[in-house]
């Protein structure tokens, strides 16, 4: 018998080593002996893996807003789903999920404060499940459900859909009719800056005498004097959709909250469609290609990791989880409430100037 080849064994082990989502899951497993942290991480990772509520068959304003957006990749994703294919859900580790959750909670905090002030308009959902109410309605800061009088309400933000026009769908963090402003709440930490404004982060990173890199957080926070470019584009897309839907908004108010010291800032940005016209043009190309067999949109970089099947295939092999789009139709993974007959359909609201102040029954 030949002696075992340590090189081959090492290669075999490497091939079996999980990466991506699987790796994160295995990492959580290592904490099995911990009392709370490990089991909780496993719970969060597995819950995330099962969550297919984010629609993949439309264009998200958040993806359009980023500098590296590839319209071709978005086209390919939607085309694949329309052809009955599956989509690859991006796998995140626990730390990323923890960051997202923190963002959600900061949203919730500000929305609750605006609700308490009586100024927040949007979609509300009744959580009175014992009475099986499930009512969904639009109102400014309601105190109870118009259907069952329950005070157990949840803010469902401001759904903004221009699916019919350009396949774009998203939701703003809030709308305050008194000042005609859509709201965006953003938490800013080092990760945000690395992603959104690397130059600003660099400008406030200093080398110490012994060669360490230190970030001057107070100066960095002070140095943020306008919303980040991607946040501005996102806000302008929301304003554009709001106008189509008859929501009377002419500006976006951004509340930035620092993760370094919980400092807060406000920025007000008026409507400026010029900023997003190229993005809307790209969305039009995607729609034309999908609905009218127009030419496939080109990758702005002549091929990138988002649109090259080869790199996508590689990513898949490296442990990203593949999720089915649902029983033959990508539509089945819309949020549950959307499938109930209580949601205001955009067709129903189009043209009629929605009066935000009046609570209105959502009819489907």
Binding stretches for Zn ion (CB under 5 A): 70, 126, 128, 133, 135, 145, 147-148, 150, 299, 304, 306-307
Min dist CB 157 to Zn ion, Å, is 18
Where do runs of H (alpha helix) occur along the chain? 6-16, 20-30, 37-50, 61-65, 71-82, 94-116, 163-166, 190-196, 198-203, 217-223, 229-245, 277-292, 309-317, 336-339, 346-349
Q: Which is nearer to Zn ion, 59 or 106 (CB)?
A: 59
Closest distance to Zn ion from the beta carbon of 63 (Å): 12
**Beta strands at 168-172 and 158-162: parallel, antiparallel or unpaired:** antiparallel
The nearest distance, CB 88 to Zn ion, in angstroms, is 16
Q: Which is nearer to Zn ion, 39 or 335 (CB)?
A: 335
CA-wise closest residue to 247 among 127, 143, 99, 123:
123
CB of 71 to Zn ion, least distance (A): 8
When the beta carbons of 119 and 307 are compared against Zn ion, the nearer one is 307
Rounded to a whole number of angstroms, the minimum distance from the CB of residue 151 to Zn ion is 10
Cβ proximity to Zn ion: between 130 and 266 the closer is 130
Q: Please identify, using beta-carbon distances, which residue of 275 and 304 lies nearer to Zn ion.
A: 304
How far is the CA of 253 from the CAs of 76, 126, 175, 235, 263, in angstroms?
Answer: 34, 27, 9, 9, 16
Alpha helical stretches, state H, 132-267: 163-166, 190-196, 198-203, 217-223, 229-245
């Amino acid at each position: 018998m030949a002696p075992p080849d340590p090189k081959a064994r090492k290669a075999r082990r490497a091939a079996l080593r999980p990466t991506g989502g699987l790796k994160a899951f295995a990492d959580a497993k290592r904490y099995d002996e911990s009392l709370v942290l490990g089991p909780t991480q496993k719970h969060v990772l597995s819950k995330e893996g099962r969550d297919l509520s984010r629609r993949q068959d439309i264009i998200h304003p958040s993806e359009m807003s980023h500098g590296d957006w590839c319209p071709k990749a978005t086209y390919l994703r939607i085309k694949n789903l329309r052809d009955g294919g599956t989509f690859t859900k991006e796998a995140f580790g626990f730390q990323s999920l923890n960051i997202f959750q923190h963002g959600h909670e900061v949203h919730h905090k500000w929305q609750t404060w605006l609700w308490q002030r009586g100024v927040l308009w949007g979609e509300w959902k009744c959580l009175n499940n014992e009475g099986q109410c499930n009512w969904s309605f639009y109102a400014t800061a309601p105190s109870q459900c118009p259907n069952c009088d329950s005070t157990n309400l949840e803010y469902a933000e401001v759904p903004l859909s221009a699916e019919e026009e350009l396949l774009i769908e998203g939701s703003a963090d809030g709308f305050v009719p008194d000042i005609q402003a859509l709201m965006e709440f953003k938490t800013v930490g080092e990760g945000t800056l690395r992603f959104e404004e690397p130059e600003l982060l660099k400008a406030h990173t200093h080398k110490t005498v012994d060669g360490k890199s230190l970030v001057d957080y107070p100066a960095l926070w002070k140095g943020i004097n306008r919303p980040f470019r991607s946040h501005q584009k996102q806000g302008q897309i929301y304003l554009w959709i709001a106008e189509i839907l008859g929501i009377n908004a002419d500006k976006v108010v951004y509340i930035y909250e620092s993760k370094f010291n919980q400092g807060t800032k406000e920025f007000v940005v008026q409507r400026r469609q010029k900023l997003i016209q190229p993005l809307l043009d790209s969305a039009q190309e995607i729609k034309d290609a999908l609905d009218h067999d127009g030419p496939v949109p080109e990758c702005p970089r002549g091929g990138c990791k988002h649109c090259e099947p080869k790199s996508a295939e590689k990513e898949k092999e490296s442990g990203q989880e593949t999720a089915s789009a649902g029983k033959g139709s990508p539509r089945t993974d819309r949020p549950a409430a959307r499938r109930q007959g209580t949601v205001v359909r955009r067709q129903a609201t189009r043209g009629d100037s929605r009066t935000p102040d009046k609570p209105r029954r959502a009819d489907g």
